[in-house]
Structure 1
Amino acid sequence: MTARTIRTPLLSLGAALVLGACATPGPQPHTDAEKKDRIQADTARMYADQEPVTGPIDFHEAAARALKYNLDYRLKLMESALAADLRDVSTHEMLPRLVASAGRTGRSNDSGGTSIGIEDRQESLRASTSEERYRTVAGLGLTWSVLDFGVAYYRSQQKSDQILMAEERRRKVAQNVLQDVRNAYWRALAAQRLMPHVDALLARTHRALGQAREAEEKGLLPRQEILAYQRALLDSVSLLTVRRQDLELARAELVALMSLPPNSPMVLADGEEPFLPAVGDDTERLERLSLERRPEIMEEWYRKRVNENDLKIAKAQLWPNLSVNLGAEYDSNKYLYNNHWSTTGVQVSLNLLRLLQLPSIESAARSQAETDDLRRVALSMAILTQVRVGVVRYQLARHEVGFADESLRVDRSLLDHANASRSTRFGSELEVIRAEGRFLLSRYQRDAAYSRAQAAWGRLYNSVGLETLPATIATHDVKTLAREIQRTLRDQETFSLLVTTPDLPDATPK
């Protein structure tokens, strides 16, 4: 085979590669059909594999559905699994490298050469070769480096800490989801209770408004009295409409938290409201618990260890590197005396210039440690403030519920009096509508105060960093998970928040 016969295919291959590079297609945006398919696939995945709603949903089932099917929480679970997989990859990097190779080589002419004398520079041997033009080679080599082992060891420790950090983020997302469900559920339950009454009163108010306009046109009453009557009705309509919108939004928010399809039929369990427990007076104990259990504190603590291992890796790269090599080789060259042989080697190397980095690394280590500690202390201060504020906010919210109960009792009595005093007089219907509007508004304010108290209780629960759910979720059905969440919350509230028996009057029956 001549050099020309080799050169021609190589030139052809190079030309083909150049032409292929020139023919690379430009940007290709997705088509409308592809977008439609992607939207359908994503939408189907949002609501896939969910247990159907078979009955009224209580608070704990709503929390179970939110935690089991909430996409943000499922994303954090996947991040935890990914961190565990990356840790396994780092662990394998500590193993020696075992490389197997095989191939066939060739050249267009013979390799070889001649020899000349060192002193007289005269050629002493004729040209000769000891290598075939075409031959097969293979090898199996084992290499182990102390430096690579040390770096991989610290990387594995980092990945282990990152698993713990991902777990703390998962706990935080679970706490936030439960807090959002607690806030939305009681507002949505108020919506379910009040919406039929609000709609009925709005219909009556619109009828009364039409009658007032008719009376104005016929001149049955003085114009100023009729306009004042209409003004009162319009104010009532405006106030009820605003409250109705708030109630509808709460229901939509709860549906989204449970990852149910929009406009899904949903009935909330309207049973006896849970009592609002009283928190113990040992605020210092709650603060201590928050510093022990808050996911943010634990994540920052693990992050400090990750940063420390980064600096340990930088220091390890300053060490002398010891490499050990073992190998088995094969060459089919028929001119060799031994076609099989083994190789061994030990090598020590040190990059002397890298030693100049040591003072900078030591300074960076001190600065990093101080920064991590200060960040954790600042976060701890913020958490302690949250606990103190949370206790005060919850106590105020409980008292607000008591005041709302008393207001509701008075407005119920006024409504009963207005109904008893109803007559055929034109303004009598307005007084009944006003009394009923005030009563519904009081019911709304009472339910809103109760939902705010539940939200304050949830914020206090979160500020202490208490657990919200069992260790496994995917293996539990919704009913079982709801019971586990109820048990977990009850145990945490009883033994961690030091709750006592409620000192407020019973909730007003709906």
Structure 2
Amino acid sequence: MDNRFAVIQPRALGVACAAALLMAGCASHKPKPYSEQELRDRVVQDQQRMYADQEPVTAPITFYEAAARALKYNLDYRLKLMESALASDLRDVSSHEMLPRLVASAGWTGRSNDSGGTSIGIEDRQESLRPSTSEERYRNLDSLGLSWSLLDFGVAYYRNQQKIDQVMMAEERRRKVAQNVLQDVRNAYWRALAAQRLMPEVDRLLARTNQALESARKAERDGVTGRQEILAYQRSLLDAVYMLTVRRQDLEFAQAELAALMSLPPGSRMELADMPEPALPDQLAPVDQLEQVALRQRPEIMEEWYRKRVDLNDIRIAKAQLWPNISVSAGYQYDSNKYLYNNHWSDTGLQVSINLLRLLQYPSLNRAQESQANADDYRRIALSMAVLTQVRVGAMRYDLAEQEVHFADESLRVDKSLLDYAQAARGTALGSELEVIRAESRYLLSRYQREAAYSSAQAAWGRLYNSVGLDVFPDEIQSHDIKTLATEIERTMRNNEQAGLAVPAPGARE
């Protein structure tokens, strides 16, 4: 007995020391914030990844090339691509859960003394054997077992169906982000192109206006003309400066917004292709036709429809856990114990079990399934109603924007005639110079308003395109260069517009 305790005490002491060291290590583990150098390194790495692997800008950018750059390099869109890929990977992982379990194990076991015992008679309670053992103190154990459970298979099957639907939901979210990115590009591109066209003229006119303002101040100081007249002249010039400065700020913001959408590095030179404006569609498809296309195509509606199946499978999983569970097992075992008659053997098993009390949940699960289906349907219907409203409002906005373009064209024609008249009647007096500056300001403002009207019409067309839910890009993005991708986007958009959005007018310019 003393020898036994002599063996146990060192082992117990070792276990106690290990536990004490583990507790000391946990107690000394304190929060460790990032160092300043790590923060700087992280910022540098993030900035490098923001603009990594981009094709350089070597030529003026067309609208479809701007869309291609935004779709390929926009960080929000990249994030949705990664989320879609992650959902697909999780689906692949969940599909393996339906397979039977094949478990291989190997181990070693030992004890400080012999196992064994004596036996006594059942009736007379007399000892019939001296103490004996049939198990070695130290032995190896190996096994290979195959098991399959009907309940685990059913739960894994429905969860795999959920993962498949979640992949489809992620794909719909990716479609929506791409559509929103294209709409933002359309909103910014035409305003940025207007900025590129108008900003040099605005700068030149601002310089002339400031020069005329300085001349007026000098005339005021010298008393060349009446004070009221010269102050009124300065007031008119200041109004022109304010108007031009505000318009110039709007133009600068549009260029910065487009550069951000395309994820261009800061300071990159961006030149847009100053090509003839594409003609706006003259006639839309009937609104009821647009509404039907939207109800079929909008990513939000499709995502809610897939969500209904995910919610339904939650109820099915709960119902599957009420089934009788059938478990089948088979395995191979090995034990190195030399006292065994058979060291190798195979075993098989079949077990059926059911939790009878869980059957009481069945009526509640049926009610929950019905309520969940109704909630999903009404959520999708409410979203569909909002989509129909967006389509109707989008069609109305496009009609109004198209009328505004026609009005801006007429205003531009009139202001151009007034400018020509003022320049022809220019004299040497301050008043005539003021009239020329006023006419140039009005003409430049009309040009700005015309560019803004056209940009608004393009934006309205983009909102209508977005509200209908039409796709704008081919299935593969990363495998295309910018030129090829721009061509594919242009082809896809034209096909979609001709198929479900616009009715081409006879002789309309492409």
Once the two structures are overlaid, the 10-residue window that deviates more, 338-347 or 108-117, is 108-117
Aligned match for 1:245, one of 239, 243, 249: 249
Q: Which residue of 2 aligns with 1:207?
A: 211
Aligned residue identity for 1:129: T
Q: Does 1:297 align with 2:301?
A: yes
Of the candidates 17, 23, 27, which is equivalent to residue 18 of structure 1?
23
The letter of the residue matching 1:342 is: S
Task: Specify which of 443, 452, 457 is matched with residue 453 of structure 1.
Answer: 457
Partner residue, 1:479? 483
| 2:401 maps to 1:389 | no
Once the two structures are overlaid, the 10-residue window that deviates more, 120-129 or 254-263, is 120-129
Q: Quick check: 1:45 aligned with 2:77?
A: no
Q: Which runs of structure 2 are paired with 1:277-426 in the superposition (5 Å)?
A: 277-426=281-430
How far off is 1:502 after superposition? 8.1
**Which 10-residue stretch deviates more, 247-256 or 495-504?**
495-504
**Contact 1:95/1:149 (8 A) holds in 2:** yes
Any residues of structure 2 matched to 1:84-99 within 5 Å, and which? 84-99=88-103
Is the aligned partner of 1:437 residue 2:416?
Answer: no
Corresponding residue to 2:132 among 118, 128, 131: 128
Letter in 1 for 2:247: R
> Contact 1:76–1:169 (CA<8 Å) still a contact in 2?
yes
Q: What SS class does the counterpart of residue 279 from structure 1 fall into? A: coil
CA contact (8 A) 1:91 1:152 kept: yes
Query: Deviation at 1:281?
Result: 4.8
- Which amino acid is the alignment partner of residue 38 of structure 2? E
Aligned: 1:4 with 2:9 = yes
> 3-state DSSP class of the match of 1:104?
strand
| Percent of residue pairs bearing the same amino acid type | 70
SS in 1 for 2:351: strand
Q: CA RMSD in A?
A: 1.4
Provide the C-alpha distance between the structure 2 equivalents of 1:244 and 1:363, rounded to a whole number of angstroms.
63
Letter of the 1:254 counterpart: L
Instruction: Report the residue type matching 1:23 in the other structure.
Output: S
Show structure 1 runs of 5+ residues with no match.
Answer: none
- What secondary structure is seen at the aligned counterpart in 1 of 2:98? coil
Alpha-carbon offset, residue 117 of structure 1: 2.9
Secondary structure class of the residue paired with 1:500: coil
1:427 deviates by: 1.6
Q: Pick the aligned partner of 1:263 from 243, 267, 274.
A: 267
1:324-375 per-residue CA deviation (whole Å, 9 max, x = no partner) reads: 0101011111111111111100011111121121121111101100000000
Letter in 2 for 1:162: Q
Q: 1:439-473 CA deviation, whole Å, 9 max, x = no partner?
A: 11111111000000000001111111111011111
Give 1:236's aligned residue. 240
Instruction: Work out whether residues 58 and 268 of structure 1, in 8 Å CA contact, stay in contact via their aligned partners in 2.
Output: yes
Q: 1:222 to 1:503 in 2, by over 3 A?
A: farther
Residue 76 of structure 2 contacts residue 177 of structure 2 at CA under 8 Å; is this kept in 1? yes
Q: How many Å separate the matches in 2 of 1:501 and 1:279?
A: 7
For residues 248 and 189 of structure 2, what CA distance do their matches in structure 1 show?
A: 16
Q: Distance in 1 between matches of 2:141 and 2:249?
A: 79
- Return the alpha-carbon distance in structure 2 between the equivalents of residues 476 and 306 of structure 1: 34
Q: Is the 8 A contact 1:112 1:127 kept in 2?
A: yes
Residues matched between the structures, number:
504
For residue 218 of structure 1, what is the aligned residue in structure 2? 222
| Residue segments in structure 2 that go unaligned for 5+ positions in a row | none
Q: Which whole-Å CA distance do the structure 1 matches of 2:161 and 2:267 have between them?
A: 48
Between stretches 326-335 and 14-23, larger displacement belongs to: 14-23
